[in-house]
Structures are given as structure tokens and as C-alpha cells.
Amino acid sequence: MAHKGRVILHVDMNSFYASVEQAHDPSLKGKPIAIAGNPKERRGILVTCSYEARALGIYTTMTVHEAKRKCPELLLLPPDFQKYRHASKEMFTILRSYTPLVEPVSIDEGYLDVTELSKERHALSIAQEIQARILAELDLPCSIGIAPNKFLAKTASDMKKPMGITVLRIRDIEQQLWHREVVNMHGIGASTAKKLNAQGIFTIGDLAKTEEFKMKQILGKNGVRLRARANGVDQRMVDPEAIFDTKSVGNSTTLPEDVTDVRTLHKTIEGLCKKVVERLDAKRLAGSTVSIQIRDADWHNHTRSKTMSNVLYRYDEIYDIACTLFDKHWDESPVRLLGVTVSNVVDRKDYSQQLSIFDFQEHAKDEPILKLVDEIEGRFGKGIIKRGVDLGKRSSYQSQTSFSKDFLDDHE
């Protein structure tokens, strides 16, 4: 790799949960296995499956019923998240032994900036050693992409699985990527691909060649960003702190059966809002946008949002908005899943509340204290004084936002 630019690795664990189960129980190796939720609670969706299962036509998000029908010998295991979390921690410990510039993306993937290290040894040699160590020490397979930026490194790691190492240079983009359909580009989902197709943009090459102003018309700022990446441009740095920048806090639940009773659905929304508020409190966050997700019996997803001028973190406010959104947009068809999310979140300490004429008096009395705090912070540094009521972020299960997020505690 040339030393003029950055050298980024993207390490992506292969069939992580299934591979961890096979590492813990060698008798599972070579067999088709899948990790799934509880079918009795309608959470019978495959979270992941081994490569042996994939070879038989099994894939992630397939229902348990469908998978067993297709592959009767499929071994189904319940998720053991503590086991996966421990393996993730061990994997990231290996990555950090090469450089402190490690950015976890999820429980089973992360970026490394090995620019400095690559001045002493070839990037391919570094990647080969990392892959070999993870296999030898943890008995887990991974694929690694090597590139001058994060987008290309991520794209490269997807090219050879399992146990692949791929180098993707900017000069290779036209030959390696441009012939692919846009839906196969990292960062583009089915709905975005549909919008692009409607504008005559079918391949990554089409996207790369489209005028910037047109991309902005089609997809806004994201269109400009995607066009740049299709041309191999991505300025994002590897940031070890990036994963802690929570953008949303949400909770969803699959109902035991399809529901049409509005009181039951309101009760479900109430429970979801309480969990979201617990997590906002635990992280000391507040957000300005409330979204409701409705999935009907035919698996059609409907998401509606409302953005407020002030941030929200109280249960009654969030519940009122979520229920109003639901009542307005539910078409009375049977509901399979409900979700509530608060997004555009900020740290409660960092936002400035907009003062109305009614609460100005309440805040005016704080003004002399705030002036004193400003003076002290001017002399001794920002953040030297904290309000006594600020207990900080609570480390508990309530601060977690999803099945796979509490691995973040291992990176504190």
C-alpha cells in the first residue's frame, strides 16, 4: 500500500453468533446451525446462521418455520448474548494491540487506522496476522478489507467471505465496483435504490457519473455523500469515540399475535415509551423527534415521525406524541409489531432550553450563579463545576438501546 494516504482496515467477523457457538461447542462445527428467538412469541426469526446452513439455502431474517421446512436437520440455538459479548471484547482487545485507533461499529465489526504501522510493515501482512490471531486465539473466522478510507475498507471486507482479505484501491473502483447495482453499495437500501432507479441510476458507475446537483435534488446531502463514495472519496477518520455518539433511543416488540384492539395497542405503546424513557434517563439524553413504527400482518412497515422545537425526555410527552401518531396513521389492519423511537438526541447538559415567558422567571434566579460558574470555568477550565443533581450516565441494562448495544460498556 502507498504511504501517501491513510491505510484503513475493516475487520468483519463471519457469522459471528453462530461461529461463537461453534467455538464453544466443537461438536457443532461443520453442521447447519442458526440462532433464533422464541418462536412461541412470534420472534421466530433467524438472527444469523452458519455458513453450512447458508449453503443449504438458509439465510438471516428467514422465519424459523420456513428454515426448518427447507432444512429439517437445522440446529436452532437461543441467543446467548453474554457469550457473544465476551468474544467481542476479546476480538477488540486483539485489534487494539496493533493501534489505539480502533473504531467499533457493532459487536462484530470495527475499523483500524494502521497508517503509521504500515510504514514499518506491509498492510497485507498486518491483516493476515490479525486474521490468523483471531482464528488461533478465539477460534473465530473473520474477513478484512484494506483500503485508503472507511467506505472502501468496508466494501472490501464484504468481497470475500468467510476468511477473506481484500485490498481495494481507488484505481480499482471502476473495474471492481461500477458494474454493480446501486442496491449493493454500502449505505444504499432498497428504498433509496428504488428512488435512484426511477431517475435512471442503476449501477454504482451511474451514480458516480451523475452530476452532483442532480444527486442533491434526488437525495439531498446524502446524495452528494453517496456520489462521492461511489467515486472513492470518504474523508471520515477512524474515531475510537464515535460509537458512543448515540443518535436515537428506541424500543420495539413483536406481539404474540396479530392485534386489532386499540386498547391493547395503546397499552403496548405505553410500555414501549416507559422503556425508552428509562434508557433516556440512564444515558442522560433527550431528543426532539418521536417516531412510531407499525408492522402489519403482511410484514409491511409504516413509520411516522414528529419533530418538536424543544427536546423531550418525559414519559407523558413522548407517550402523547407516539399515541397521536399511531391513531392518525393506523389503518386498523392487524398489527404484528410496534416500535417507538426518540431520535436527534443530545446530552441533557448540552442543550439550551428555549425560555418562554412562563418559565423565564424560574431561570432568571439562576443568572448570578451562572455568571459565577462562567468566571470559575474561565480560570480553571470548562466543566470543572457540575450541578449536584447530575448523577451522570447510569451503567445498567436500562441504558442499553438494543439486543446488541450493551457491548459498548466493554469499550468504556
Q: Which residue has the cell 428454515?
A: 67
Question: In this structure, is the dihedral angle defined by the CA atoms of residues 44, 69, 26 and 51, taken in order, positive or negative?
Answer: negative
What is the phi/psi pair of residue 335, to 5°? -100, 130
Q: In this structure, which long-range contacts are made by residues 158-162, counting pairs with CB atoms below 8 Å and at least 24 apart in sequence?
A: 158/12, 158/186, 161/12, 161/14, 162/14, 162/15, 162/51
Question: In this structure, is the dihedral angle defined by the CA atoms of residues 123, 150, 115 and 87, taken in order, positive or negative?
Answer: negative
109: annotated active-site residue: yes
* Single-letter residue type at 329: H
Question: Would you list the DSSP string of 203-263?
Answer: BHHHHHHS-HHHHHHHHTHHHHHHHHHHTT-------TTGGG---EEEEEEEEEEEE--HH
- Going along 199-284, which residue ranges are E strands? 248-259
Strand-pair partners of 306: 290
CA distance 412 to 407: 10
CB 401 within 8 A of CB 287: no
CA distance 402 to 408: 11
Q: Is 105 exposed, middle or buried (0-12, 13-18, 19+ CB in 10 A)?
A: middle
Is 158 annotated in some ligand binding site?
no
CA distance 251 to 243: 19
Is 234 annotated in some ligand binding site?
no
CB 159 within 8 A of CB 168: yes
Whether the upstream peptide bond of residue 162 has omega within 30° of 0, thus cis, is yes
C-alpha cell at 101: 485507533
CB 231 within 8 A of CB 173: yes
Helix/strand number for the chain, H first, E second: 15, 12
21, 52, 103, 109: which is the annotated catalytic residue? Answer: 109
Question: In this structure, is the dihedral angle defined by the CA atoms of residues 274, 275, 276 and 281, taken in order, positive or negative?
Answer: positive
Strand-pair partners of 285: 347
* Single-letter residue type at 310: N
Residue numbers belonging to the annotated binding site for Mg(2+): 12, 108
Residue numbers belonging to the annotated binding site: 12, 108
- The residues that are catalytic are 109
